[in-house]
Structure 1
Amino acid sequence: MKILKFNLYTLLCAFMIAIVFNSCSKVLDEAENLSQYPPEGVFNDPSQSNAYLANLYSSSLPNSWPVNDGNSADESGGITGADAITPNSSRIFWPYQAIRKLNIFINSIPTGTLPDATKSNLVAQAKFLRAFLYFKTVVYYGGVPIIKEAQGLNDELKVPRNSTAECFTFIESDLNDAEAGLPPKYSGNDRGRIDQATVKAFRGRVLLYKASPQFNSANPYDNQYWATAYQANSEAKAFLDANGYGLLDKYSDIFTVKGNKECVLSIIGLNPGKTNLRGDDAVRPLSESKNATGGDQPIWALVQAYPMLDGKKITDPTSAYTYNEQSFWLNRDPRFAQTIVYNGAPFALSGKAGRRQYTMKNIASSLDAFGFAIQGENSYRTGFFTSKGLNLALPAPPTTSDYDWNEMRYAEVLFNLAESANETGNSNESLAALIAIRKRAGILPGADNLYGLKAGMNRTEMRTAILDEKYLEFAFEGKRYWDLRRHRLFATKLNGIHKYGMMATTVNGRTADQLTPADINGAAAYSLLPENFGYTVTELITSGAKAMVVPDTYYFFPIPLDYINQNPNLKQNVAWGGTFNPEL
């Protein structure tokens, strides 16, 4: 029996606001009501069932890039101060309203009159979405209540937390069911729908977390779950390879070329209606934006982390390239120039050919400058911006970029395989994955064809190399904080650190108070080059806390007190004064 198809266009129409497509008007009119109070007969009608499912996609998956997620890690500016996370604040994720809608759909579709193959396909997509939400909730808190039946709107959620082990089992079961009901790969107008490739890749992510030190602090790297994670990620890579996925040749195209072979799970941008998923307006320098403050500003630690062109660290005396702090941009990993915008760097925003980005006081727009007594102490600058994922051609303020957000891409599967392979005695596969990533980046192979990687790394060294490489490959893609948390590295990587930027302090030997008309005119004509300036590493300017406060209690967040007050059967995590152990 043929599966009744609905394409991505229909999906998007169901949850885009203020757009008029004649072919989707009925779906738009019905989607909101269907998501809350599905009337009798909804699940007998294919268009109404698809409208309901479209709403579930919107409420279950991320809707955009995670702008400023790096503020809580060592990627970008922003200081996590004391009590940033408490039982009453921050990092709250409690998706039971969306789970209720998913349960309605999962339990109602089989009772309708749609063809059996259609029912199986729709339920499979919904089960993936439910697994996605439960996984994120477990990563936040550990075990949470497993609810499989849709409660009434007036029912009270008075159930206790399931163990973390039970939750992982439930998530894996939903993923297995989802995979059984889906085709191998969607493409064309159906791109963006959940398929087997998505499920397999995501299962690898889930099982990597299950094996991680976050959930197994007493036995972080020799527990039984690593073998299962390795098997899942091996299968995911093999399946993706067989179905045309792989690393894209050009790193920067990953974020600007829609539907490329690296995209496994994409949130589709569509112009008009679902645009600016990158948050271009929030990430651009304020001089090329509007009412935004320059999100995702790289800090000096990230800038330093990029290796030289031969893949060697900037501190490695065996590198063929000499690193100099006053010319820090020269001969670096090509991903550096495709991610980091520094003083004097080409940055042709708003279609301005030849435009360069300046950050020096009295040379740059005061909105962009990193210097003392400019923005005020509450508006930090780092001396850097990022170009990653931005649509440079859009005029200011940018609001119409239809670039996608890639929630999962092939490179993540390689990293997940590399980690699990390293912990199961298969470090040769880990090395192969890192070489593939570095080769695609454009790093030179070297005489040993190791692309700057150390030969004969032991297990600990390889583990560090994997995390270091992922730090760069996925900068500003919402991975770093969670990777450090997953490996329980807050104490060594985040807690107590200070954040720094690079301040351009002179131009042609003159300070900001000694500038000549030629200096000003050179900036206006974009003729001042990075090497015309002098630089000083400077701590970020802010009136708030200077040191990051990221204690070990953050490895699992507290259940919000509002929810505990509503449901006394919810037990708080042990690190937050409760009795519930969130580990396996």
Structure 2
Amino acid sequence: MKKYIYLLTVVLAMTSCTDELNQLPLSQGTIENFYATSGDFVQARNATYSVAFHGMGTYGYANRVLNLSEVRSDNLLATTQASRDWEGINSFYTSISSNTYVKEAYLSNYNAINKANQLLEKIAEKGDQIFTNPADKASMIAEARFLRAFCYFDLLRWFGRVPLMEKTMTATEAAKIPRTPVVDVYKLIISDLEQAIPDLAPSYDAANYGRVTKYGAKALLGLVYMTRSSPTYNIDGATLGLNEWDKAYQQLNDIKLSGLYAFAADYEPIFKVEGITNKENVLTIPYTQSLPLAVGGNFMVELGYEPYFASVNLSAQGALEAKPISTGFLNLFAETDKRKIYGIATSYTVATGTYKGSYTLPVFKKYIDATRYGNGREDWGVDFMVTRYTDVLMLMAECTLHGGGGSQAEVDDIVNKVRTRAGVPANASNITLDDLFTERRKEFFSEGTRWFDLIRSGKAVTTMNAWKAAEDTEGKIRTIENNSLLYPIPLSEILAVPGLYDQNPGYD
């Protein structure tokens, strides 16, 4: 495992991680002396990975999707007795434009985009002089394009229209860029991925594990087409109703046909076998422990609970309040379902100390592995799978049910494989989209996919309001509407250049 090294100081002289828009773009004048060797370019590439995947501080992409997708969804009833940022996410507050998680999603992505832009510009300027092997230059361009596309797609799914910046900019230049129509941001995303895929390696050795492959990029492009194809809800969001399911199916099927990946025979090892030997890994964010210039991850703390950590003899992790699993979700599982047995703690005991006692509050534990705990709560050596091979197959099934390719028999077959591996009856036939989304909900809980699945289903609003009616006995959660499917643009960005940005409807 390898966590990419930050270069937020000295080498790239990046501005500090503050909230204001005019502090995000990198100044052209601060980096002229850096890009002098191929090693410098490698460091810059790794820095771009680092910010795109690991964020700018204690949060990264994995933390982000757990907080903004999983906590937002019907999998968790994450109301709180205290004032915590995640409560406003789960309860659909309209006053979350200054929310920590919302700001992180915006700022980290734009910092990574600026790094990718800078890298692309410096390759264009100096690449022919620096790179003796044209393939090395092409690969670096491809990785930078992928990372830029990855970040813009992430922004679109959270915020809808966002400013499109295809080059590094001064503060003055950035202050003139308004929010760009979604279709135009998509043009750059698709162009970047289509140009990147031919020059990305199909696989890497262990030393380069975590760099994006050709098939990781195809997985992203497939999901881009699926998202564009999904119902619009009549908002300026990432879903456009374009019916490109066949394009999505083609990209995903290429991954299947590559022969480089495999449907895991057992469920539990998917989350315990890391690196290139895990054939479920299509696109993965690697973490490591205890290296001088890198730390591990802490995303598993987001959905954890202090008494559970104590029950497996781990020190305090900061998860003082649980994010309880919703009753309706728990009731979906058969008692024999390995996914529930492995991924959900329904009872646990703490023998001594502050949390001594027995607990029956169900919490997620899928990624909590005490054997991979390092030197503190931000030093877990557990990788995060953005896309695993099972996801690819089930996304293909979704495309099939929309008429994008494949057959009903293939859809039924993959659902039966998933159920067989989980140890539950596998007699599916004529699987519908509703059936498929239910199976995805059980397969991918606490992996950050549920909110996006709800939106692609076209039933996000009705599903969430039905969930609220069934589970919100204290009346803490707002009834949602279509506008609730987007997050607000951070208030700091609205205020940085008054009048430049409009706020997403429905937010204070």
Task: Please tell me the TM-score bracket, short chain as reference.
Answer: 0.7 to 0.9
1:51 matched to 2:51? The reply is no
Deviation at 1:564, TM superposition (A): 3.2
1:388 matched to 2:366? The reply is yes
Residue type of the alignment partner of 1:57: Y
After superposition, the Cα gap between the structure-2 partners of 1:234 and 1:433, relative to the gap in structure 1 and judged at 3 Å, is: farther
Distance 1:34 1:560 in 2: 21
After superposition, the Cα gap between the structure-2 partners of 1:284 and 1:155, relative to the gap in structure 1 and judged at 3 Å, is: same
Secondary structure class of the residue paired with 1:14: coil
Q: 1:299-333 CA distances to partner (integer Å, 9 max, x unpaired)?
A: 32221011x3xxxxxxxxxxxxxxxxxxxx3xx32
Residue type of the alignment partner of 1:440: R
Distance 1:76 1:575 in 2: 23
Secondary structure class of the residue paired with 1:411: helix
Q: Percent identity between the aligned chains?
A: 22
Distance 2:499 2:239 in 1: 36
- Are the aligned partners of 2:11 and 2:31 in contact in 1 as well (CA < 8 Å)? no
The aligned runs of 1:17-416 (5 Å cut-off) are 31=11, 33=13, 39-62=31-54, 63=60, 64-65=62-63, 66-68=65-67, 69-79=69-79, 80-81=90-91, 83-89=93-99, 91-92=102-103, 93-94=105-106, 95-112=109-126, 113-115=129-131, 116-153=134-171, 155-214=173-232, 223=241, 225-226=242-243, 228-259=244-275, 260-273=278-291, 274-280=295-301, 283-286=304-307, 287-288=310-311, 289-290=315-316, 291-293=318-320, 295=322, 297-306=324-333, 308=334, 329=335, 332-343=336-347, 357-358=348-349, 383-393=361-371, 399=377, 400-416=379-395
1:452 matched to 2:427? The reply is yes
Deviation at 1:39, TM superposition (A): 3.1
Query: Which region of structure 1 is more displaced relative to structure 2, 428-437 or 100-109?
Result: 428-437
Deviation at 1:386, TM superposition (A): 2.9
CA-atom RMSD in angstroms = 3.6
After superposition, the Cα gap between the structure-2 partners of 1:241 and 1:255, relative to the gap in structure 1 and judged at 3 Å, is: farther
Distance 2:40 2:181 in 1: 36
- Are the aligned partners of 1:558 and 1:576 in contact in 2 as well (CA < 8 Å)? yes
Deviation at 1:141, TM superposition (A): 2.4
The aligned runs of 1:545-564 (5 Å cut-off) are 545-547=475-477, 549-564=479-494
Residue type of the alignment partner of 1:443: V
Deviation at 1:476, TM superposition (A): 0.7
1:478 matched to 2:448? The reply is yes
Distance 1:442 1:496 in 2: 29
Deviation at 1:31, TM superposition (A): 4.8
Q: 1:489-548 CA distances to partner (integer Å, 9 max, x unpaired)?
A: 343322264599xxxxxxxxxxxxxxxxxxxxxxxxxxxxxxxxxxxxxx799xx74445
After superposition, the Cα gap between the structure-2 partners of 1:82 and 1:299, relative to the gap in structure 1 and judged at 3 Å, is: closer
Secondary structure class of the residue paired with 1:168: helix
After superposition, the Cα gap between the structure-2 partners of 1:60 and 1:49, relative to the gap in structure 1 and judged at 3 Å, is: same
Distance 2:329 2:376 in 1: 26
Deviation at 1:109, TM superposition (A): 1.0
Deviation at 1:553, TM superposition (A): 1.5
Distance 2:287 2:239 in 1: 39
TM-score normalized by the length of structure 1: 0.69
Q: Which residue of 2 aligns with 1:3?
A: none
Deviation at 1:388, TM superposition (A): 0.8
After superposition, the Cα gap between the structure-2 partners of 1:467 and 1:217, relative to the gap in structure 1 and judged at 3 Å, is: farther
The aligned runs of 1:466-505 (5 Å cut-off) are 466-495=436-465, 497-498=467-468
- Are the aligned partners of 2:412 and 2:430 in contact in 1 as well (CA < 8 Å)? no
- Are the aligned partners of 2:488 and 2:507 in contact in 1 as well (CA < 8 Å)? yes
Q: 1:270-303 CA distances to partner (integer Å, 9 max, x unpaired)?
A: 1214324443597254234414326554332221
Distance 1:222 1:50 in 2: 37
- Are the aligned partners of 1:209 and 1:215 in contact in 2 as well (CA < 8 Å)? no
Q: 1:394-439 CA distances to partner (integer Å, 9 max, x unpaired)?
A: 6899645312111111122112211111011743332232223223
Secondary structure class of the residue paired with 2:163: coil
Secondary structure class of the residue paired with 1:283: coil
- Are the aligned partners of 1:285 and 1:367 in contact in 2 as well (CA < 8 Å)? no
Distance 2:302 2:458 in 1: 34
Secondary structure class of the residue paired with 1:494: helix
After superposition, the Cα gap between the structure-2 partners of 1:221 and 1:167, relative to the gap in structure 1 and judged at 3 Å, is: closer
Bigger-Rg structure (1/2): 1
Secondary structure class of the residue paired with 1:149: coil
Q: Which residue of 2 aligns with 1:507?
A: none
Q: 1:347-406 CA distances to partner (integer Å, 9 max, x unpaired)?
A: xxxxxxxxxx249xx999856656xxxxxxxxxxx7213331221446899645312111
After superposition, the Cα gap between the structure-2 partners of 1:431 and 1:72, relative to the gap in structure 1 and judged at 3 Å, is: same
TM-score normalized by the length of structure 2: 0.78
Distance 1:72 1:296 in 2: 11
Aligned residues: 454
Distance 1:262 1:292 in 2: 29
Q: Which residue of 2 aligns with 1:420?
A: 399
